[in-house]
Each structure stands twice: as C-alpha cells, then as structure tokens.
Structure 1
Amino acid sequence: MIVATRLSPSPRRGVAPIRRLSLLWLAITGLALSGLAAGPGRGFAQGHTDTRRVVSSTPATAAALADTARVRRWREEVRAITQRVRHQHPRPFAFSSEAAFDSSARAIEARIATSDDARLAVECMRMVAALGDAHTQVIGTLPPLGFTTVLPIVMRPFEDGLYVTAAGPEYAAWVGSKVTRIGELATDDALARVASATSADNRYTQLDRAPLFLMMPALLQALGVVPDRDRVSLEIERAPGKRERIVVIGGPPPEGFPFAFLETEPPIPAAWTSARRVTANALPRCDQRPESAWWFEVLPDSRAVYLRLRRIEPISGDLAYFELYRRLFAVLDSLKPSALIVDLRHDHGGNNTILDPLIRGIIARPWLDRQGALFALIDRGTFSAAMNAAVFLDERTRALFIGEPTGGRVNHYGDAPERDTPNFGMMLQVSTVPWTSRFPNDDRAWIAPEHAVPSTFADWREAKDRALDSALEALREGALSPRVLASAKRSGTEAAQATFEAWRAAHPSPWETDPHGDLAGYCADLIEAGEWRDAAVLGEVMVALDPRSSISWRLLGEAAAANGNRARAVECLKKTLEINPRAQVAAMMLRRLGEKP
C-alpha cells in the first residue's frame, strides 16, 4: 500500500531563503542568458568566462580594499550580525565561548581594509559557525561578493573517504574516484577547514553539508584550501594505489543550485553522470518517491510496515498529515504486522507540530511499542524537526535505532527566521526556540544507533540499504535482548554471554554505543509486564557481562524479589549499594525486605 504521491507545493520553514539564493545566483551569473543559451554542449570553462564578464569582481587593489566607505559598510555588517545573535538567540553561547565570539568579530573588523569581500564573508560564516548551532548561520557565498563559479562535480564524504559521486560531461571519467587531496591538503584537513565555516550541531551536520561547499572554489580559496577562486586541483585515486592530478574548472551553477544540492541525496542534472550503478527504480526505498513528503507501504516478505518521513510537512500531495496517520494506524490495527520501521534518513525537518499524533499512536499500541517490533532508521541528514521525531522516539518508545548518528543534537535550538544583512545581503538565520528533551542536561551531540551501519561508498554506489537490511535481519533472527534471553533459557548464562559477544562482534560500532543498555531496558520492560522469571534470567546474564553495573544488579534484585527469592534479592540490592551508595531505590527495596541498607 502506498500513501501520498506528490510533494506539497508549500515551502518549508528555512527553505525560502535558499530559494532566494538560487534566484540570486541565476540572476547575477546570467545563467538564464549565457548558460542555457550555450546549450548542453558548451563547457563549464566557457560559461565561466561569461560569468566573469557579467559579475564585477571584489576590490583587488589595496586602495579599493581600504576605501573608507567600504570599511564602514563591512564594520556595520559585522556588528549587525553580532547584535542579531546576541539579541535573538535564547542562549547564543550554550555550546561556545562568548569571549571567542567577541574576539572573532574584532579580528574580522581589523582585517577589513586588507581582505577582499569573499574572505570577509567566509570569516563571518566561521564566526557564527563556531557557536555550534546548526540553525544559526550566515550564508555569504553570493556572486556579488566574489562567489561567481561552481565546480561541475559533487564530492561526498563517506566513512571510508571522500568520493566523486557525480560530475558534468567534462569530468565524467573521474566519477567514482576517491579524492585523496584537495589542493595540497589531505582530504581530512580540507574537510576540517570547510567544517569551520559550516554551522552545525555536530560532525555529521558538517558531513551532510560539505558537498555543497566543496562545489564553491572561491570558498575553498578563502579558507586557504586552494590558491584560485575559479578552479580546484584534486588528487584522485581511480584504482587502489594509482593516483593522478586533475584540475576542475568552475563555471555557472548547475540547474537547481544551491537549493537542490543541500539535500543529502541531491538530484543530479540530466546531463551529468552519477556514480550510482542502478536505475531510479532500483534505488533504496529511502531515495524513492522524492516528490513525496511521506508515504508508507507493507513489506510483504517480512510483514513489516515501512513509514518513510522524507520531510516533516503537514501536506503531501492531496493528503494532510492526520489523514496519513489515520490510514497508517488503520493498516497497523488490521494487519498486526511484525514491526513498524520509521525511516528518518535524509530528513532535514519541517513542521514540529505534526509529530505528536504519530508518537502517541505508537505508544497506544503496546504490541508495537516493544523491542524488536519498532525501528527508527537515522543518518547524518536526520535534522531539525526530524531530529525532534528521533528524540521523541528515543525518549518515549522502545524504538531500536539503526544507521549512523543524527545530524542534530538532542537538545538544540531552532525556528530561525531568515534576514538579509543590511549592506551586502548575506543570509542570516538565528535560532529563537530551544528544543529541549525531557532531560535538559542531556548533552549528547547526536543520537547514536544501537545497530551501527557506517556509510560506505561501495554500499551507496550499489544502492545497498544496509540499515533497512539490519532492521529486517533483527525481525528474522530476533533483536539482541530477546535473542540473549532465549539463549539463556535454552542453554544457560554462559551461552547467553557468548550470544551477546558474538552479536557485538558482528555489529561493531565506531560510535561507542553500549549494547548493555538494550539488555537493561528489555529487563525493565519484562518486570513492568510481570514476566519476572524471564527478567531474573536476563538479569543474571547482565551481571555476568558487567559486574560493575549498579542498574543491572538493581534490576536483578527487583526481579528476584518479585519471584519470591528473598535471599538473592537482598544480595543483589546490597551489591547495588556497594557499587553506587546513592542508589535510593535499592535502599528502599532493602528496607521493604526488612534489611538495613
């Protein structure tokens, strides 16, 4: 069953300014006149020459840079940005230093008379990016400030390196190559410099936004990555160990730039070559139906329901969000499927107000809201309202998270209206609303998945959806905690420990997730459901795996008490207090058993 087939024409919050930037790029670079008139056979280098004639370059002489009026206008610009940040943001220095922010502003003002417009714009971007809030940003990469060319090549970072994922006709031969150096810098160093100008909540926001900025040679020049603002030298590796140098010449922006290229999976212009080796019909489910904000279907082989939330929008096609939820829950109640898989990947957000009915509907169905029956797929593109959806699922349900870390932090700021800076028209967005979880002191920079699925170029190229496959595998073979419990009941504690360690070896995580937490959560669910014998069996496995876990000993003590095993309960609760003397619940339970804590 498929629901919703067309994208709502309503713009999302935060999208409008990027649309304006797109129009500005088109208008000023003269793409509508020169690029389109040139036809598909014209090269980007020739288009670049036309662009340079249309757009006046930034002041080049020392006298022009030091012009009193120019210096005054830039000083006003910097002060307008800093004042807006201070007056509008609820806590502008929640993740950064106020002293460092002030120092950056003074340093920019001191360099106005000796720096061109592009460098000053990038320095403003870096100053605001250092605040550590992805919704608070300056976008100064405008043609009037010297950003007149775009590279006809997309470079995307994966966990195994930076790769050319698409390119225009002139550079099609290098599509699929690994990029080992940009200019004279190793790719990690180049990406670090790009990250310094990228407003982000964490490393994964930076990785998600990197491809767009890597297309802008003037930005790379301003960051000291390359010497020229109209071309970039790359060292690439087309075969292992065989490296070569290429030079990519910038030209007019491709169709949809920059708006379309903000997407985690940007649509590639028709004349370009993609590194993906599959047709559109064979793409992973998360990349299908890009025109739809959301849809769902039943996966017949697994009897799971797959819900795709590509954009958190109130309307998709001719359906409102509450109509989607009615249909979704009607199907769930009718079929009683084995699982619900909520896919939040590549979802940059939208309208937070439509999320609550979905979360409440899941919680109202205990047969669905349990470990092994509810999955959330996340990645670097899970951001803003989609990040809030992930937080709600994390806090209020038993969802198992699969994929890579989210692009948003757990407690973050958002709802950032856009404004143009007064003198140069740079886009400025400053957060106005704190989005706080149930735990205001939760300082996680992201939600890390329990089942780690690092993104690799090979998987992306072959359109392999390892995250969805991992969810379906958990359905077939059982999630970790039920699997460990079954092993313990069948063969004892040692066998269950071996099952746990084998699972961990098969699912390594670079993000230091703790699978012991899965066991503790499942044990607590068993106690709540009155399944005390199973809880006690699982508790014995937990304390064997981690003898220094006070929560494991406390849960085992609670299960033992419920089973009438007073001696074991007292032993476990005293062990809890030995590890954590401040464990008040354990002390209370001991007193109930007639023991002194």
Structure 2
Amino acid sequence: MSVRSFSRTIIRYATFSTVILVAVFSVFGQDPNLQYSKLGTLNHAGMKQKTELEKWQEDLHFLAREMPKRHKNLFHTISQKEFEATVDELKEKLPKLTRNQAIMEFGKIVAKIGDGHTTLWTVFDREAKFNRLPIVLYVFKDGVFVQSTSPEYKNLLGARILKIGDTPIEKVIEKIKPYISIGKNNEFRLKTWVPNYLISPEVLQALKITNDIEKTPFEIEKDGKTFTTELILDKDIDRSKISWIHARNSSSNPTPIWLKKDERFWFEYLKQNRLLYVQLNNILDKKNKTLRQFFEEVVVFAKSNDVEKFVLDIRSNGGGSSGLNVAIIRGLIQLEKIDKRGKLFVIIGRRTFSAAQNLVNELEKYTNAVFVGEPTGAGPNHYGDARPFKLPNSKLTVRVSTLWWQDVDPRDTRKWKAPDVAAEATFADYANNIDTPFKAILEYNPQKSLDDLLTETEQTKDFKSLKTTLIAYKNDPVNKYLNIEGRLNRFGYMKIFYRKVDLAIEFFKLNTELFPNSSNAYDSLAEGYLINGDKQLAINFYEKSLELNPKNRNAARQLKKLKINKK
C-alpha cells in the first residue's frame, strides 16, 4: 500500500485523533509530580505564586461562569441546579485528584451539557498533553479491533480487544462514555470518538482502568486464540504512521471506491453499473472550485449520461458551512429521472455531523433518497456553531454551541437520522476491502416503505396482515435502526388530526402488540380512547403506561383528572 493510500485509509476509517494529531505531545519532560500527584499536595516554593490546586479551582470557577454566558441555552438537557451541583462536587474533589483526573473531570462537566458541539476534547487538546499508544482501534459491528499498528506491534493487527487491564472492553467504554460529548445519547457518536480514549494511558489511569501510565495490559483475541499483552508507552515511536502496518494491507481485493481519493469532493461514473458515485467529505468550497460549481458539473454529467443509480456518499462528512447545502439540493431536484426511490442513494454514518446533518435533513425533506449505512452522529434538530474559549491557567480549550438548528418539526427528538437500509461493516468486511454500504446499494431490491404499508392498511383495514408484515419488517436486519414504533405512533396521531379516531385507535393497538413494553405506546392508546369518550379504557391504559414507566407525568396527570371526574 502506498503512503498516500495508507493516509487516506486512516483519514476515512480511523478516528479523528489519528488523522489530525500526527504529533503526540509527551509529558515525560515535565515534573512527574505535577502530572500524577494529587493537586492538593503540590505547592510552589514562592508564597506569592498560586498553588496548582488554586489554579485548577480558578479554572473551574471560570468554566462555571463562562459556559452559561456563551452557550445558546446551556440548560437544555440538565438543569442549572444540576450543573452547579456538578461543579461544586468537582470543587470538593479537586485536592484529591491528579492532573489527568482533573482534566477528565472538566471534560465530564462539559460533556454533561448534552450536545455534540459543546466539547472539551481531553485526548486532542495540546495543553492536556495526553499520550497515545502505538495502535489504532475502531468499533466495528462485531467488536473493537486493532486497525493499524506501529511495526513493533504488528502481531496485534486484526486482534479483537476483550479487556483493558481486568475490565471487559464493554465496561471500559461505559466508564469512558460520560466524558465524551455525544449529544442525545448517540451511540454512534460515541463509537466515533471512544477509540481515541481507549488508547490514552492518561485516560485509562485516571478512570482507574489501569494503574501504570507506562504499561497498558490488553487481553485480545486473534486467530481463535486469547492472550494478554502489554503496550509500552514510547515517546520516541514513529508517530507519522508512514511506517505503520494496516489491516487492509494483505487484502487481494481492490481498494473500495470510497477510499480511492483524498479530496474534499469528487465523482466517478461506473459504466458497468450505470452508477454515478459522488463523494462529499466537507460542506466547503475548494480553493479552485466552489461546491456550487462542482454540483453543476455533476448535474450536467448525470443528464448527459446513462445513469441508473446516483450515490451521494457523506459518511465521512463532519460538516462545514450549511449555507452551501442549497447547491446540492437544487442540483438533485433537477435530476427528475434520478430523484426516485431506488435510484437516489445517500450513504451516511457515524461521522456524518454538523452541517452534513443539516444536509441530511434537507435530503430527507426534499428528495426521495434511500439512506444507507449507519445512523448519523447527530440529531436532526441540534445545537451547533461552537465557539472556543480557553481556561486561564491550564489553557484547555472549551467549545460551546452558540446556535440552535431546528431544521425539522420541533417535536422531532430523534437522536440521529437512521438509515433506511442498515449496512454496518464487520472487521472482516473492512480488512477484505468490502464496502458494506456500497455493496448494499448494488444489491438493493426496492420494497414498500413503512409509510406505504400504513397508508395501504388505512384503505384495506386489514390490520392482521399488517401485523404479520410489520413483524417481518421489524426482524429484517436492514431495518435495524428504523423507529417502527415512532412511525406507527405518528401515523395514529395524524388520523386523530383528521378526526379518524377509530382508525387511530387501531394503529395504537397494533403498536402495543408489537411493542408491549413501551409506556409511550400505551399512553397514546389511552389518549385515543379518551378522545373517543371511553374513559374506563383510557384509565386502564394510562395505568398500564404508568406501570411500565412510573415517571410518565402525562399518564399520572391524566389519571388524576379522570379519577376525579369519575367520582
């Protein structure tokens, strides 16, 4: 594999830290007491100087003061009281924390705000000076695998991580999760960033997953064998990754199309498939070509050639300027022969974020695209446009969201845009140069959408057949991330809006049969009966909803009203 090809692979599939931060800043040059001793034990000889503890306390006060001032709405997920209690708790803990523990706890406060743009990236921040082990990890469908290594650890290539220290990898990820800004509990946003934390000795030691910064024990599985190995932190190791070995090196298959070029945007026509492939990795202009000019070229090409399928690949698109999205949408809408279900495809994934999420929202609203791949890294409505500020003493950079992007219905609380066709890569897929989403597109067989099925049933009233169909639909792996319960629920409320309450009740009943543990499904059914005037059935199903979720305030409130009126 060429150096250029290797670089492309790391950029696309490896995590962000291994892409951007090719230089790792070692803390070995510092006084080890400053790095790993408890802050409360560190003092300066000069009485006029602030102690390390005082500096961190000052940073904490600054953080607590500035975040509410700078964020568009800091308390959108947690309350002000909860935020202040978290700050007070850290203030009490600071004297007993080491420097790396303090940094992690600052990151935890920022992550608790609950939006993906409000961040303190502890493992990326130059001032944190956290190290990285000489491996790259990735969370595949079938586990966490070693994707590339320095030559010294080539025997680990392709190994699945089972434990770090004595802790199973799943529990390690759960321990790290509160320290990463992932928005609305978006597990794919977590999968994007957690590999960087898994290879940071300072992170692992701070969270008491390991004890020794310089030696990190891993339990791994490879070729059917399980063994333990120690990774040694070496400040002199080649961090450029030019000499590193990659899992794709030994594949006999050609490089997949999505890894062919390292450019902001480009397209290629696959004549044998009559397929036009367009890759967009940022919502930004090039120096020599604007995004608008590029999509004008794409439209002209698509109109003048035999194009049966159009693929827009934004799986690696982390954002840019959402104002440029209009050029893309206008271009696709012009292609009437392409803008049809089964002809227009959009590949999305965990790194589809920010302005790219805005693009997904518009594609979902204005085109007939089929979305393929993984869920996106953000929700349709989200906080964004982060602006940085530095803490006065540690110089750590905190970013806070300054705008609320409401692209869709304000009641839309989805944590991501789910793919219509789930296509997640296993490690074997990746190592063998198999592009899982692209393969799914080539093999795509059109099927009726969920909305089509519900609309047909509205006419036929054959709910028994619909139930059978939806059970199969629910169990089909390609529909893994579709919110069938939510779609059924919304469809029922649409019928209520059009005063077809009896019909709405049938859809709500079906939802409780398909999702018997859903408090919300029973809450909706109760509301349907209440609107229809059947108070006893409304009481029965509100009680069932409350039984499943004692925190359902709507059910509790409605029951109180109904029982008072019943007396």
Say yes or no: does 1:313 pair with 2:284.
Answer: yes
Q: Do 1:58 and 1:145's aligned partners in 2 also have CA atoms closer than 8 Å?
A: no
Q: 1:55 to 1:473 in 2, by over 3 A?
A: farther
- In 2 relative to 1, CA 62–499 (structure 1 residues): closer, same or farther, beyond 3 Å? closer
Residues 481 and 440 of structure 1: is their aligned pair in 2 closer, same or farther, counting only changes over 3 Å? closer
From 496, 506, 515, the equivalent of 1:548 is 506
Shift of 1:96: 2.9
- Contact (CA 8 Å) 2:345, 2:369: kept in 1 or not? yes
Q: Distance in 2 between matches of 1:549 and 1:274?
A: 51
Is structure 2 residue 28 aligned with structure 1 residue 52? yes
Question: What is the CA distance between 1:90 and its match in structure 2?
Answer: 1.0
From 182, 192, 197, the counterpart of 1:213: 197
Deviation per CA, 1:13-47: give whole Å up to 9, x if none: xxxx989x959x65x64xxxxxxxxxxxxxxxxxx
Q: Provide the residue aligned with 1:358 in structure 2.
A: 328
Matches within 5 A, 1:330-369: 330-335=300-305, 337-369=307-339
Q: Name the CA distance, whole Å, in 2 between partners of 1:185 and 1:108.
A: 25
Match 2:209 to one of 222, 225, 238: 225
The 8 Å contact of residues 361 and 408 in structure 2, kept in 1 or not, is answered as no
Shift of 1:419: 2.5
**SS at structure 2 position matched to 1:58:** helix
Mapped partners of 2:108, 2:247: distance in 1? 32
Q: Which residue of 1 aligns with 2:228?
A: 245
1:288 equivalent in structure 2: 260
Pick one of 151, 175, 191 that aligns with 2:173. 191
Letter of the aligned partner of 1:65 in structure 2?
A: L
CA distance, structure 2, for counterparts of residue 322 and residue 426 of structure 1 = 37
Verify the 8 A CA contact 2:318 2:355 in the aligned structure 1. yes
User: Which of the residues 445, 450, 457 maps onto 2:415?
Assistant: 445
- Separation (CA, whole Å) in 1 of partners of 2:42 and 2:361: 48
1:458 is aligned to 2:435:
no
- Shift in Å, 1:95: 2.6
Structure 1 residues 517 and 86, CA, compared in 2 at 3 Å: closer, same or farther? closer
Counterpart residue identity of residue 478, structure 1: P
8 Å Cα contact 1:142/1:426 also seen in 2? no
Distance 1:393 1:109 in 2: 46
Counterpart amino acid of residue 233 in structure 1? P
1:134-167 residue CA offsets vs partner (Å, 9 max, x unmatched): 1111134479977453200112212211111111
* Offset at residue 57 of structure 1 (A): 4.8
Aligned-partner SS, 2:484: coil
User: By how many angstroms is 1:301 displaced?
Assistant: 2.2
Report the TM-score, using the length of structure 1 for normalisation: 0.71
Answer yes or no: is 1:234 the counterpart of 2:218.
Answer: yes
Q: Is residue 164 from structure 1 mapped to residue 122 from structure 2 by the alignment?
A: no
Aligned partner of 1:116 in structure 2 is 98
**Secondary structure of the residue that 1:247 maps to in structure 2?**
strand
SS at match of 1:390: helix
Aligned to 1:104: 86
SS at 1:383's partner residue? Answer: coil
CA distance in 2, matches of 1:299, 1:185: 47
Deviation at 1:379, TM superposition (A): 1.0
**Residue from 294, 297, 303 that aligns with 2:274:** 303
The DSSP-based 3-state class of the residue aligned with 1:81 is helix
1:470 corresponds to which of 410, 435, 440:
440
CA offset at residue 344 of structure 1?
Answer: 1.0
User: 1:404-553 counterparts in 2 under 5 A?
Assistant: 404-474=374-444, 477-481=445-449, 507-514=477-484, 548-549=506-507
Cα distance in structure 1, aligned partners of 2:339 and 2:474: 24
Contact 2:391/2:397 (8 A) holds in 1? yes
User: Which residue, out of 282, 293, 309, partners 1:323?
Assistant: 293
Q: Percent identity?
A: 25
Q: Which runs of 5+ in 2 are unaligned?
A: 1-6, 8-15, 45-49, 495-502, 511-526, 533-567
Shift of residue 256, structure 1, vs aligned partner = 6.5
Q: Does 1:375 align with 2:333?
A: no
- Cα contact 1:147–1:219 (8 A) shared by 2: no
- Give the paired residue count: 474
Partner SS, residue 209 of structure 2: coil
Q: Aligned partners of 1:109 and 1:121: how far apart in 2? A: 13
Alignment RMSD, CA only?
Answer: 3.7
Moved more, 507-516 or 201-210: 507-516
Find the residue that maps to 1:449 and give its secondary structure: coil
Q: What displacement does 1:65 show?
A: 3.3
CA distance in 1 between partners of 2:222 and 2:487 (Å): 42
1:176-216 deviation digits (Å, cap 9, x = unpaired): 11111111111011011222211112111111011222221
What CA deviation, in whole Å up to 9, does each residue of 1:41-62 have, x standing for no partner?
Answer: xxxxxxxxxx624665526367
Contact 1:404–1:455 (CA under 8 A) maintained in structure 2 = no
Matched, 1:65 2:49: no
Letter of the structure 1 residue corresponding to residue 222 of structure 2: R
Residue 497 of structure 1 deviates from its aligned partner by: 9.9
Q: Is the 8 A contact 1:449 1:513 kept in 2?
A: no
Deviation at 1:366, TM superposition (A): 3.4
SS of 1:212's equivalent in the other structure is helix
Change (3 A) 1:227 1:328: same
Match for 1:217: what amino acid? P
Shift in CA distance, 53/89, structure 1 to aligned 2, threshold 3 Å: closer
Partner of 1:93: 75
In 1, the alpha carbon distance for the partners of 2:126 and 2:416 equals 36
Q: CA deviation at 1:280?
A: 11
Match of 1:36 in 2: none
Q: CA 1:427/1:389 → structure 2, altered by over 3 Å: closer, same or farther?
A: same
Q: Secondary structure at the match of 2:267?
A: strand
Counterpart residue type for residue 424 of structure 2? P
Of 138, 149, 154, which aligns to 2:131? 149
Q: Which residue of 2 aligns with 1:273?
A: 245
Aligned residue type for 1:58: L
Summarize the Cα distance change of 1:143–1:252 in structure 2 as closer, same or farther, 3 Å threshold: farther
1:446 alignment partner, SS class:
coil
* SS of 1:337 mapped into structure 2: coil
CA contact (8 A) 2:202 2:213 kept: yes
1:416 counterpart SS class: strand
In structure 1, C-alpha distance between the alignment counterparts of 2:38 and 2:289, rounded to whole Å: 58
The answer to whether the 8 Å contact 2:101/2:206 transfers is: yes
1:529 maps to none
Q: Distance in 2 between the 1:227 and 1:511 partners?
A: 38
* Aligned AA (2:356): A
Q: Tell me, in whole angstroms, the C-alpha distance in 2 between the residues paired with 1:347 and 1:98.
A: 33
Post-superposition CA distance 1:56-112 (Å, at most 9, x none): 552636763367632221112112222222011111122334333222211211122
**Partner secondary structure for residue 468 of structure 1:** helix
CA distance in 1, matches of 2:168, 2:211: 15
- Measure the CA separation in 2 of the matches of 1:422 and 1:319: 40
**Cα distance in 2, alignment partners of residues 253 and 502 from structure 1:** 56
Q: Which residue of 1 aligns with 2:59?
A: 77
Matched-pair contact (CA < 8 Å) for 1:448–1:511 = yes
* Structure 1, gaps ≥5 residues long: 1-6, 8-16, 30-50, 258-268, 525-542, 553-576, 583-597
